[in-house]
Amino acid sequence: MSSMLKVEDLHAFIGQFHILHGVNLGITTGSIAVILGRNGAGKTTTLRSIMGLVPKLEGSITFDGKELIGLTPEIIARLGIGYVPEDQAVFSSLTVAENLRLVARNKEARAREEMVLELFPDLKVAWTKKGKALSGGQKQMLAIGRALINPNRLLLIDEPSKGLAPVVIEKVIQAVSKLKDHTTVILVEQNYLVASHLGESYHLLDNGRTVHTGTMEELRQNDDLRKRYLAVG
């Protein structure tokens, strides 16, 4: 199995702070890989580093064999990597339709709109509603849908379950699980239940470094590991 994205011994520096101290990831095409770890472990910084949003990096990040370190966020996005940040940021005064069309890079996006609405029927119902009128779950689906409007082959999704009620989290799980037919996904989660439903493999971060990697089944069977790093039974 070949890795679509490979992160090797990644170090990230923000100002005077050395934030990442050796992150390693390998993501197989067509799968969902989960990055787990406590608050402050370096999950968001890892995604931001992949997108070229952290100015000082050492180590290596390759996408289809191409080195990403040193490229601008715009170029990285155009290679086919979509980023869904953790705050469900949608434009509050624009409708669902406008939010989607604003990010479309080419005409092909109209055809992809159909695909997005099939994946997220909730967005079809809310098509003419403004961002500020959407529920938390609808905002999250719009944020993910926006990243699918362009032909991205890899999506980085940061804590899609954050701040959502359990019934809504259930919907987000269903939505993300359907993404696999369309794209490869790296999912950051603090919620182990969400992670274990969706992920096939896991990468556990602690203090800015990768401390464990394996299949989700291995994590399910490793009570010690879950207790030590995730504070869940």
Ligand X SMILES: Nc1ncnc2c1ncn2[C@@H]1O[C@H](COP(=O)(O)OP(=O)(O)O)[C@@H](O)[C@H]1O
Q: Report d(CA 130, CA 84) in Å as an integer.
A: 19
The residue behind tokens 């980085």 is 156
Contact residue for ligand X among 5, 10, 37, 57 (CB under 6 A): 37
The residues in 8-27 that bind ligand X, with binding defined as CB under 6 A, are 14-15, 17, 19
DSSP 97: H
Q: Which is nearer to ligand X, 47 or 77 (CB)?
A: 47
Q: Which is nearer to ligand X, 122 or 159 (CB)?
A: 159
Helix (H) or strand (E) holding 218: helix 216-220
Q: Does 193 bind ligand X (CB under 6 A)?
A: no
Phi/psi class of residue 218: alpha, beta or left (left: φ > 0; alpha: ψ in -120 to 50)?
Answer: alpha
Contact residue for ligand X among 7, 32, 36, 42 (CB under 6 A): 42
Q: Which of 188, 119, 187, 113 is nearest to 151 (CA)?
A: 113
Q: Does 43 bind ligand X (CB under 6 A)?
A: yes
Q: Does 46 bind Mg ion (CB under 5 A)?
A: no
**Pairing between strand 201-206 and 209-215?**
antiparallel
- Backbone phi, then psi, for 190, in 5-degree steps? -100, -20
Contact residue for ligand X among 8, 40, 89, 217 (CB under 6 A): 40
Q: Does 161 bind Mg ion (CB under 5 A)?
A: no
Q: Could you give the 3-state DSSP secondary structure of residue 3?
A: strand
108-119 helix and 136-148 helix, angle to the nearest 10 degrees: 140
Could you tell which of Mg ion, ligand X, none binds residue 40, using a CB distance below 5 to 8 A set by kind? ligand X
Q: Which residues is 169 bridged to in the sheet?
A: none
Q: Which is nearer to ligand X, 45 or 138 (CB)?
A: 45
Q: Does 44 bind Mg ion (CB under 5 A)?
A: yes
Q: Could you give the 3-state DSSP secondary structure of residue 232?
A: coil
Q: Which is nearer to Mg ion, 43 or 226 (CB)?
A: 43
User: Minimal distance in Å, beta carbon 142 to ligand X?
Assistant: 22
Q: Which is nearer to ligand X, 38 or 182 (CB)?
A: 38
Site residues, ligand X (CB under 6 A): 14-15, 17, 19, 37, 39-45
Binding site residues, Mg ion, CB under 5 A:
43-44
